Amino acid sequence: MAPKNESCCDAECGFPTPLDAMKNGPREKLVYVPCIQPSNDKPDYLATIDVDPKSDTYSKSCCEAECGFPTPLDAMKNGPREKLVYVPCIQPSNDKPDYLATIDVDPKSDTYSKVIHRLPMKYAGDEVHHTGWNACSSCYGVAGAARNKLIMPCLLSDRVYIVDTGTDPRTPTIHKIVEPEEFVGKTGRRTPHTSHCLSSGEIMISTMGDENGNGKGSFVLLDGNTFEVK
């Protein structure tokens, strides 16, 4: 019989708690990432990524700095502290537009913990909901990807605002607006809810209804470069 609290799992299969794994677990040296093809004419594949900083083949793509990290633990240990936070602010009435607040969260800054910029949306009554990035850790290892656009779906208006946070992070601007005529007209879907960045480079937005008023959930894809509805 194995001694109490000792088993093969202690060393080989895991740890008793997530906190114990974070504190005492070895750093992963390889990450296996399922890569899904956006079309059906090519097979999916499993990518093996070297995440050992001491290795000659350690990944050096832009995604390490701009788009994400191979694992949440790697992000916690090696990721830089965020210096800005973007917060959607929803107006309680429909006579004023929602806005995106930029908050300085750099402790070394003179404007630490203050709202340093407000970007109003173009229209009133949008109700901006769950925002997301155009690129994130889903694209880890993809050359050329950069986290520089904030995707802002709107529940009430069926709009999607694309906000440029890359040109001037402290003063973001509206890059493009996907109007409801395009969003609903091309897809028949309404009430965009949450934005997700995909490893294919596309942006997936979950929806809560259709053009006939039914509560039918679905998904809509945007092109990751042009932000046109597919």
Q: Where are the domains of the chain?
A: 84-222
Higher pLDDT, 188 or 75: 188
Average pLDDT for 6-11: 44
- 197-210 pLDDT, tens digit per residue, is 988 889 999 999 99
- 41-99 pLDDT, tens digit per residue, is 778 777 777 777 777 766 533 333 446 777 888 888 888 889 999 999 999 988 999 99
Task: Name the residue among 191, 186, 180, 194 with its Cα closest to residue 214.
Answer: 191
pLDDT of residue 3: 47
Average pLDDT for 6-34: 72
pLDDT of residue 130: 95
Q: What percent of the chain has pLDDT over 90?
A: 55
Element housing 8 (H / E) = helix 8-8
pLDDT of residue 55: 76
pLDDT over 50 (residue 155)? yes
Higher pLDDT, 15 or 36: 15
pLDDT over 90 (residue 188)? yes
Q: Where does the chain show beta strands of DSSP type E?
A: 30-35, 45-50, 84-89, 97-104, 115-124, 132-133, 149-153, 160-164, 173-178, 189-197, 203-210, 218-222
Per-residue confidence at 178, pLDDT binned at 50, 70, 90?
Answer: very high
Average pLDDT for 173-186: 97
Q: Where does 8-138 show beta strands of DSSP type E?
A: 30-35, 45-50, 84-89, 97-104, 115-124, 132-133
Least confident stretch, 5-9, 90-94, 143-147, 219-223: 5-9
Rounded to whole angstroms, the Cα distance separating 41 from 18 reads 40
pLDDT over 70 (residue 216)? yes
The values of phi and psi at residue 75, to 5°, are -65, -40
- Average pLDDT of the chain is 85
Higher pLDDT, 7 or 35: 35
pLDDT over 50 (residue 6)? no
Query: What are residue 162's DSSP bridge partners?
Result: 151, 176
Per-residue confidence at 149, pLDDT binned at 50, 70, 90?
Answer: very high
Provide the token pair at 201. Answer: 């480079």
Average pLDDT for 118-146: 88
